[in-house]
A and B are shown apart, each in its own frame.
Chain A
Amino acid sequence: MATDTRVILICSGKGGVGKTTLTANLGISLARQGLTTAVLDADFGLRNLDLLLGLENRIVYTAQEVLEEECRLDQALVKHKQESNLSLLPAGNPRMLDWLKPDDMKRIVEMLKEQFNYVLIDCPAGVEDGFKNAMAASQEAIVVTNPEVSAVRDADRVIGLLNTNSIKPVQLVLNRVRPKMMANQEMLSIDDVTDILALPLLGLVLEDEQVIVSTNRGEPLTLNSLNSPAAKCYLNIAKRLQGEDIPLIDPAEESSGLGAKFRRLMQTKIF
């Protein structure tokens, strides 16, 4: 039984920035560190966490049946095949909408807290009821964003709501970073995003084609492809969550050679 469970909301405002991929990879990484972890898919309308984890065929019950006492919690939890420390709980069934209330989420998270070190809540996109339900059950949050204007703007809305609801700490993950574009100043820099959103940076994730390959297979990168650029980033984020002091990757270092040296020269601030 875990006493000091951390309940972390993973949210973004905008859809498609990488919430679910981050949730899946953090879940695997934390489980690998020996921490019992539950990932709760709060996006029951359009759930996808099961698919990324390769567990889509093993879901029998959801949190809804647990709350209605049609089954026990351990019957609804889907244990991961390779990482037995990781379990998935879908909040609900895509066919049934409109049953979930903030109190329901609180109740289910309280139950999960009795068994797990970490509860990661994969938040639906948007700032409406789905987000508010998920937030009601959370203590801290990770905001995922991309270095793009629309993603940063939506992240800003979400951060405002998290602040007014006393969720803390709120940390930032900057996803889909392209070092070459940043060096050419054709992409918002890491400093630009952290300055604008005024959040501590928990980590950045490099753009990586392998992410698509891993979702095709239903095997998160941190499970089998530890050498891929994004997998290293996810592992670092999981370690930092555990309080380890891991330095951030410098995107400028990621592109090497003469071209990169030239691009760095061009970034020199003159005045």
Chain B
Amino acid sequence: MAMTLRDIINKLLRRQPASASTARERLQLVLAHDRSDLSTELLDQMRKEILEVVAKYVEIDVDEGAVSLETEDRMTALVANLPIKRTMTGQIKLKEPKNESEENSQQTAGTDQNS
């Protein structure tokens, strides 16, 4: 996230950040949901099912796993970030689960909104 001189001064003085950045963040979140027509419950259920499927093949860190909707340029993407502990055969044990073992699987959930 870009930071301006004003943001830094506000932070140092422990003041509230200027409201434009709050507006931008809130809008991006609400539009990702508007555009996909997915409710939070559905998204949560999908997250659980995706984790179940992936867990059949690799051991994943369930607490660290996150599935979210991100939106950019009117494209909404379903982004799953699932840190892998090791594969089921046990042969590959990835050493640093925080960094290197992160598997980013990206799927496009809907191209443009309201289709």
A residues near B (Cβ < 8 Å) are: 148-149, 152-153, 156-157, 159-161, 163-164, 182, 184-189, 192, 196-198, 265-271
Can you offer 25 A-B residue contacts whose CB atoms are under 8 A? A149-B23, A149-B26, A149-B27, A153-B30, A156-B34, A156-B35, A156-B113, A157-B114, A160-B112, A182-B20, A185-B4, A185-B6, A185-B19, A185-B21, A186-B19, A186-B20, A188-B20, A188-B23, A188-B24, A266-B4, A269-B4, A270-B3, A270-B5, A270-B8, A271-B2
Which A residues are in CB contact (< 8 Å) with B31? Answer: 153, 156, 196
Taking CB atoms, residues of chain A closer than 8 Å to B9 are 266
Task: Name the interface size band of chain B.
Answer: 20 to 34
Check B20–A187 contact: CB distance below 8 A.
Answer: yes
In the complex, which residues of chain A have a beta carbon less than 8 angstroms from the beta carbon of B74?
Answer: 159, 163, 197-198
B92 within 8 A of A: no
Additional A-B contact list (4), CB under 8 Å, known A188-B23, A266-B5: A184-B18, A185-B4, A197-B74, A270-B5
Q: Is the C-beta of B28 less than 8 angstroms from some C-beta in chain A? A: yes
CB neighbours (8 Å) of A164 from chain B are: 112, 114-115
Chain A residues whose CB sits within 8 angstroms of the CB of B113 once the complex forms: 156, 160, 163
Which of A153, A156, A196, A268 interacts with B24 by CB under 8 Å?
A196
B33 to chain A, nearest CB (A): 11
Known: A186-B19, A186-B20. A265 touches B2 (CB 8 A): no
A182 to B115, alpha carbons, bound, how many Å?
A: 34
CB distance from A186 to the nearest CB of B (A): 5
Residues of chain B with a CB closer than 8 A to A156's CB: 31, 34-35, 113
Among A148, A163, A186, the residue within 8 A (CB) of B18 is: A186
**How many contacts between A and B, using CB within 8 angstroms?**
78
B41 interface residue, CB < 8 Å from A?
no
Q: How far is the CA of A189 from the CA of B24 in the complex (A)?
A: 9
Does A185 contact B115, Cβ atoms closer than 8 Å? no
CB contacts under 8 Å to A, within B17-55, are 18-21, 23-24, 26-28, 30-31, 34-35
For A186, what are the chain B residues with a Cβ–Cβ distance below 8 Å? 18-20
Instruction: Provide the bound-state CA to CA distance between A87 and B6, in Å.
Output: 50
Shortest CB-to-CB span from B98 to chain A, Å, is 23
Q: How many whole Å from A268's CB to the nearest CB in chain B?
A: 5
- Which B residues are in CB contact (< 8 Å) with A189? 20
**Assembly CA distance A271 to B31 (angstroms):** 26
Q: CB of B73 within 8 A of chain A?
A: yes
Closest residue of B by beta carbon distance from A197: B74
Q: How far is the CA of A266 from the CA of B26 in the complex (A)?
A: 23
| Cα A223 to Cα B33 with chains together (Å) | 43
Cβ contact of B114, chosen from A153, A161, A182, cutoff 8 A: A161
Q: Which 4 residue pairs are nearest across A and B when measured between Cβ atoms?
A: A185-B18, A160-B114, A160-B113, A266-B6
- Identify the closest chain B residue to A127 (Cβ): B114
CA A184 to CA B26, docked complex, whole Å? 19
| CB–CB A185/B3 < 8 A | no
